[in-house]
Amino acid sequence: MTIETNSAHVTPAGGNVFADLGFSPEQSSVLKANSQRIISEKLAIKNSLMGELAKWIDDNQLKQIEAAEILGVSRPRVSDVINKKSMKFTIDALVDMLARTGKNIELSVR
């Protein structure tokens, strides 16, 4: 049995995958705008959580290796937090790290 692994089409960066999937121009524009809004909201949440972690590290004058031990991650992961490399983290992972600092996390939906 052979599995086809070649892509027939690749949507370029900034392109509209919904149009490529055959949605009408109007539908694809709406779907793309909604997906971009959701991505922006998630990135804002991640950046906020990473900011809190970086502030905690700074406030406690921790070296990255010390913070890594407390947070239960590697030193390079702490560097990624400090440098706000949000694409490398899930919201769940960041919440877990914040919980390890003793901070309470509250979620608000509006």
- CA dist 37 and 41 (Å) reads 6
Task: Provide the residue-wise pLDDT of the chain in tens; the chain has 110 residues.
Answer: 777 777 677 777 778 889 888 889 899 999 999 999 999 999 999 999 999 999 999 999 999 999 999 999 999 999 999 999 999 999 999 999 999 999 988 888 78
Over 35-87, what HEC string results?
A: HHHHHHHHHHHHHHHHHHHHHHHHHCCCCHHHHHHHHCCCHHHHHHHHCCCHH
Contact (Cβ atoms closer than 8 angstroms) between residue 69 and residue 39:
no
pTM for the full predicted model: 0.79
